[in-house]
Amino acid sequence: MSALTVQRVTKTFGDFTAVSDIDLTVAEDEVLCLLGPSGCGKTTTLRMIAGLESVSQGQILFGGEEVSAKPAQHRNVAMAFQFYALYPDLTVGENLIFPLAAEGLSKAETQERLDGIADTLHLDSVLQRRPHELSEGEKQRVAVGRCIIRRPNAFLFDEPLSRLDVALREDMRGSIRRILATLNRPTVIVTHDQLEAMTMGDRIAVMRDGRIEQVGTPQDVFDHPANTFVAGFIGTPQMSLLDGRCLDAGETQVTVGTDQMRWTLPASRFADMPRTGEAATVGFRPRAASLTPGGLALGGCRLVLSEHMGAEKLLHFDWHGQAVRVLTQDDAPQIDEICTVYLGDAAPHVFDNNGIRLRMKGDRQ
């Protein structure tokens, strides 16, 4: 089997461009998660790969073979739908083997695959039931089962876990991850949940407004967000992003700051140097900040909200009109109290005037 390639694909609906000139490659044993807020074009992209939506420009290839013009029936892709799309009049068993009719398998082989799937997904006890008699979790498993019972060119999952409750979702995330590892087919999962994307994907493609903002491994995207959008979108709690300007980009030192604050970083750490006078954004994760003195200090932070998150508290500060978030296990100060937030030794993320990440030495890209 072979890789799935999306080449310079654009999709327009009338005047609206849903997907704009995207490139993606999914290797045959790889799981790619399309992640992004609603309306970013991720589902449209998936539907174009499935053949349910035509491609306005560009090509989609399965193992080098162009399939852009082929309808869904002729692409041999398996897809699990967000609303499961179980056939209401068929039993669970009939639903599961429904796609096998097109493969012309023998009865014995069909039964063997059905047994295998029912066993993997713990559906043995409900094979005779009809979809309306199933719980949400069972429906979801049938939808996944109907997908993975096949040996298609690609597996496509549209928001597979979005309709499950939290506990079930965590459980299924693990199961699906294990199953996907055995499939050896290019797999694309659409999700708006970054945790899902981080845990299930080998790589993540972050999308916004029909464009791909960054593609990389979960770790990579988290550690080296390509721009301020990805930085703000990936990671909970959200990264604090402070707008300022590059005050001085010298031979040895780079100074970035605002009227209230300045950061000095050794110039030797930058792979891309900022330019003096241009706007710059500095970002740091709430977990990297604390109220314990040490490292760079942000004075004059007014506490506006304190959220309990179990073992930790998320403190929202107002720092001269910009939001600063701190995740701490310490006791929260009083609301409206003025505090100093310390950034410790952690290196901040620096983005240029277009919001593009300035690469540091040692970045993997």
Partner 1 sequence: MTSDMHLPPAFTTQRSARGILQWLNAPERRGPLLVAPAILTLFLVNILPLLWSFGLSFFNYRANRQAAPRFDGLDNYGDLLTDDRVWERFVTTGMIVAGSVGLQLIIGFGLALLFAKKFPLRRILLMLVLTPMMLSFVSVGIFFKLFYDPSLGLLSWIVGQFTGEPFAILATPAGAISAIVIADAWMWSPFVMLLVLAGLVSVPDYLYEAAHVDRASGWRRFRTITLPYVKGLILLALLFRTIETFKTFDLVYLITAGGPGSATETVAVYAYRLGFQNFRTSEASALAYLILFVVIVLTSLYLYLVNRRDAEAAS
284: which strand partners?
240
Q: Which of 297, 313, 248 is nearest to 274 (CA)?
A: 248
Contact 223, 275 (CB under 8 A): no
19: which strand partners? 11
Instruction: Supply the minimum distance, in Å, between the C-beta of residue 98 and partner 1.
Output: 6
215 with 24: CB under 8 angstroms? yes
Rounded least distance, CB 205 to partner 1, Å = 21
State both tokens at 193: 């949940």
Least distance between partner 1 and beta carbon 4 (Å): 15
Q: CB burial class (10 A; 0-12, 13-18, 19+) of residue 101?
A: exposed
Q: How far is the CB of 135 from partner 1 (least distance, A)?
A: 13
Residue located via tokens 């003096």:
276
Q: Minimum distance from CB of 144 to partner 1 (Å)?
A: 13
Shortest separation between residue 150's beta carbon and partner 1, angstroms: 8
Whose Cβ is closer to partner 1: residue 158's or residue 352's?
158
| CA pair distance 60, 48, nearest whole angstrom | 8
Q: How far apart are CA 287 and CA 328, in angstroms?
A: 7
Token output for 13:
């609906």
Q: How far is the CB of 118 from partner 1 (least distance, A)?
A: 18
CB-CB contact of 326 with 286 (8 Å): yes
To partner 1, the closest distance from the beta carbon of 101 in angstroms equals: 7
Q: State which residue, 157 or 222, has the beta carbon closest to partner 1.
A: 157
Other CB atoms within a 10 A radius of the CB of residue 358 amount to: 20
Q: Which is nearer to partner 1, 183 or 332 (CB)?
A: 183
Which residue, 143 or 314, is less far from partner 1 as judged by CB?
143
List of residues contacting partner 1 (CB under 8 A): 50-52, 71-73, 76-79, 81-83, 85, 87-90, 98-99, 101-102, 132, 146
Q: For residue 225, what are its two tokens?
A: 């967000």
β-sheet bridge partners, residue 17: 12
Nearest CB to partner 1, comparing residues 27 and 85: 85
Give me the least distance between CB of 103 and partner 1, in Å please.
8
Query: Minimum CB separation from partner 1 for residue 154, in Å?
Result: 11
Cα separation values, 255 from 72, 223, 259, 276, 310, Å: 55, 22, 12, 9, 37
Nearer of residues 186 and 235 to partner 1, judged by Cβ: 186
CB 222 within 8 A of CB 199: no
Give the Å distances, CA to CA, from 184 to 116, 179, 339. 17, 10, 53
For residues 210 and 36, what is the distance between their CA atoms, to the nearest angstrom? 10
Q: Is 162 helix (H, G, I), strand (E, B) or coil?
A: coil
- Nearest to partner 1 of 81, 342 (CB atom): 81
Q: Decide whether 140 or 240 has the Cβ nearer to partner 1.
A: 140
Of 146 and 285, nearer to partner 1 (C-beta) is 146
Closest CA relative to residue 349, chosen from 283, 285, 278, 296? 283
Q: Measure the CA–CA gap between 108 and 234, rounded to whole angstroms.
A: 47
Nearer to partner 1 by C-beta: 73 or 334?
73
